[in-house]
Structures are given as C-alpha cells and as structure tokens.
Amino acid sequence: MKALRLTAWGEAPEPTEVEQPVPRGAEVLVRVEATGLCHSDLHVIDAAAGALPYRLPFTLGHEVAGRVTAWGPDADGVEAGQRVVLYGPWGCDSCDRCAAGRDNYCDRRDTLAWHGAGLGRDGGMAEYVLVPSARHLVPIGDLTADQAAPLSDAGLTSYHAVAGLRHALGEGTTTAVIGIGGLGHLAVQILRATTATRVLAVDTREDALTLADRSGADFGTLARADTARVLRGQTRGAGADAVLDFVGNGQTLELATGILRPGGELAVVGSGGGRLTVSKPGVLPPGFRLSLPFWGTRPELTEVVALARSGAIHVETERLPLSAAAEAIGRLRRGQVRGRAVLVP
Ligand code: NAD
Ligand code: ZN
C-alpha cells in the first residue's frame, strides 16, 4: 500500500510503498477514508534530530477516519465496515491515566517512543492504518470521513482546551481566540456551542477572519501592532477573561498576556516556540492562570463527534488526494489552507 513516511528529520516525507499491515492480538485494521493535515505535522517534519522521542521511519497522519476491515483474535466490539474516527493519543495502556481514557496525559508519555498515531507510530497518511486496540475507535454514524477525521485532533484539542476554561466562560465574559486555522475555527464554534462567552478572533489573514465570522465569532481583527488596544476596546478596557492561543509564538504570547484581565485564563495550544517569563512582581496580569492543554481524552472525542453529528460544529475542509500531500504541506506552510486540508488515499 502507499504511505507517506517520515524517513529523516527535517526532510520532506516520502511517498513509499509498504506492506499492508496484518492485525494481530487486539489490533484492528482500518481502511483510511480521510486524514487531516495538522500544523503539528509540520512541526514534526521540521523537528531537529533528537528533539522528539520518536524513532524513524513512520507514517504520518494523526487525524484519521475510515472503516474497520479486519482485526486480531483478541479485539473486542468491532464490526466489519464500522465507520470510525481514531482516538490518536496512544498511551502505555497500563497507567491510571490510560485506564481513564486520558492517554493524552499518559504517565509514560515521555518514555514511550511515540505519542500516538502518526506521531512515532504509523499513522493514517496511507491506505490502511493499524490501531493497537478497539478502545481507540469512536463510531461516527453518518458523518462523512472528511468531517470526522479533523475532529480527532483539531476538534478534540479545541474541545479539551475549552473544557479546561469552561468555569470561567459564563454570561458577560469575553474570550479571545488567536489563530483561526484548523483548530481555531473549531474552537470558535465550540465556544459558541458550549459556553456563553463573547468571542473575539485574531489572525494575520483576512480570509481566516472571514472563516471566524462564519464560525460565529462576535468580532474579528488582524494581528497588528495595535491589536491589544483594539481588543481592549472590545472589552471596555477591562481585558479578556480568557485567551486561547493557537499559535504560541513570542508575538502571540505577548498579545495574550497583554489583553488578559486580572484573574484571567490563558490556554496556550499552539506549539510556536514562544516563551513566557514569570516574575513577581512583574508585568503579567495578577492572578492569571496558564494551561498547556495537550490533545484530549477519549470521552471528549465521543462528545465532539456528538456535537458534529448534531450540526453544532462543522469543519471547513479542503480535500486533496494523498498523492498531492507535498502540495498540501506547501500550502499549509504558506498559510494558504482555509480550515483543514484533508488527504484522501
Ligand atoms: P493552522 O496553520 O491551520 O492555523 C494557524 C492559524 O494561525 C492560521 O490561520 C494563521 O494565519 C494564524 N497565525 C499565524 N501566525 C499568527 C499570528 N502571529 N497572530 C495571529 N494569527 C496567526 O494550524 P493548526 O493545525 O490549527 O495548529 C495550530 C497550532 O496548534 C500549531 O502550532 C499546532 O502544532 C498546535 N497544535 C497543538 C495541539 C495540542 O495538543 N496542544 C494539537 C494540535 C495542534
Ligand atoms: Zn499510560
């Protein structure tokens, strides 16, 4: 079968012919129907040797939807043809976090040689993907594969980040969302669907602000030198109760902490390599709280799928064949993808 494999750090992944995997034990084989291309894939491709605990080579692709086709003798509760989305964080399967469906915070996360599908283990940018256990599969009912695949990271990570702030997002509050790409446009919709907060969107691209508007943001503005002043104006000078940063570089962290209200919540989701210096006394807003959410839990993925099936969230997608992965990667790098690019084998 064809697979897009990362063979060397810092080099473009290679389309490669590999053996179609055969499920053993509790493993399940899924015929891939769609795989989302995440900005994290770019961070993985660009990583310096030794920066990530993964062993090369492996097949990329951690946002995967498809159909169950075969399974090993110990697999439970699977049916031929079942349409599923993969829960991508695969933990050790034996710590109490994994037992609770919180593989994203597995206690052995840093000693395993992987963080999940397409992140150290073979992922879904291929015709088939081998899943270690049926517990990593969530049924999608009648959702299309294009809609379902991005839910497993863009949807789940946004949902998990919002869930961590929900206590602070009541009526009369304001939340700024920075970076309205694959994750950010779903975060806007999830905020609208699950909280009462007012949503302010920030991006460097006009078309991303158009998408923010369509996703239900109350206000959108370009990231510029005066953005903090513009956003403060939107909160009558008080500042935002929460900021979700889907970029995470030095510029956005400065903006985020600059518009946060005292006692506000900052969730940094983007892996843009920015740094925050903590000092007391200092310039950070008093009482602010910082979280660094990573992906999401298995029960949360079931909730995100239910939200999508109810019509409360909709993924903006651009569909390309897997053979055009290099083009999709180039477009994502240049900021030319609107919403999520989805690759179809
Ligand atoms: P994306 O490329 O689809 O979207 C990023 C958006 O940010 C784009 O619309 C871009 O125009 C905008 N942007 C870039 N620089 C900006 C700036 N200075 N100010 C405002 N907007 C700016 O990326 P994505 O797939 O949505 O991923 C977003 C980030 O989240 C990436 O860093 C990715 O690695 C990270 N991520 C983290 C997790 C996690 O678990 N924490 C999971 C998935 C992705
Ligand atoms: Zn574990």
Q: Which domains does the chain have, with CATH numbers?
A: 2-153+296-344 (3.90.180.10), 164-291 (3.40.50.720)
The dihedrals phi and psi of 211, each to the nearest 5 degrees, come to -65, -40
Q: Ligand 1: which of 37, 38, 206, 226 to mutate, most ligand atoms within 8 Å of CB?
A: 38
Contact between residue 203 and residue 179 where contact means Cβ atoms under 8 Å apart? yes
Residues touching ligand 1 (Cβ under 6 Å) are: 38-40, 43, 153, 157, 178-184, 202-205, 208, 223, 246-249, 251-252, 269-272, 293-295, 332, 335
ipTM over 0.90: yes
Number of other residues whose CB lies within 10 A of the CB of residue 94: 11
Instruction: Take residue 168 and report the two structure tokens written for it.
Output: 């602070």
**Which pLDDT tens digits describe the chain residue by residue (345 residues)?**
999 999 999 999 999 999 999 999 999 999 999 999 999 999 999 999 999 999 999 999 999 999 999 999 999 999 999 999 999 999 999 999 999 999 999 999 888 999 999 999 999 999 999 999 999 999 999 999 999 999 999 999 999 999 999 999 999 999 999 999 999 999 999 999 999 999 999 999 999 999 999 999 999 999 999 999 999 999 999 999 999 999 999 999 999 999 999 999 999 999 999 999 999 888 899 999 999 999 999 999 999 999 999 999 999 999 999 999 999 999 999 999 999 999 999
Distance 17 CA to ligand 1 centre (A): 31
User: Which residue's entry shows tokens 């609107």?
Assistant: 338
Distance 79 CA to ligand 1 centre (A): 36
Backbone Cα Rg of the chain: 20
So what's the pLDDT on residue 86? 98
So what's the pLDDT on residue 121? 97
Q: How many residues does the chain have?
A: 345
Instruction: Take residue 251 and report the two structure tokens written for it.
Output: 């510029």
d(CA 290, CA 301): 23
So what's the pLDDT on residue 245? 98
Distance 132 CA to ligand 2 centre (A): 14
So what's the pLDDT on residue 110? 80
Which residue minimizes the CA distance to atom 4 of ligand 1?
Answer: 181
Strands of the sheet containing 240-245, edge to edge, are 219-222, 198-203, 174-178, 240-245, 260-268, 289-291
Number of other residues whose CB lies within 10 A of the CB of residue 48: 8
Ligand nearest to the backbone CA of 252: 1
The dihedrals phi and psi of 131, each to the nearest 5 degrees, come to -105, 135
CB-proximal residues (5 Å) to ion ligand 2: 91-92, 95, 98, 106
Instruction: Take residue 135 and report the two structure tokens written for it.
Output: 């517990």
Closest atom of ligand 1 relative to the 43 alpha carbon: 34
DSSP 104: G
So what's the pLDDT on residue 32? 98
Ligand nearest to the backbone CA of 112: 2
Contact between residue 246 and residue 178 where contact means Cβ atoms under 8 Å apart? yes
So what's the pLDDT on residue 78? 96
So what's the pLDDT on residue 282? 87
Ligand nearest to the backbone CA of 45: 1
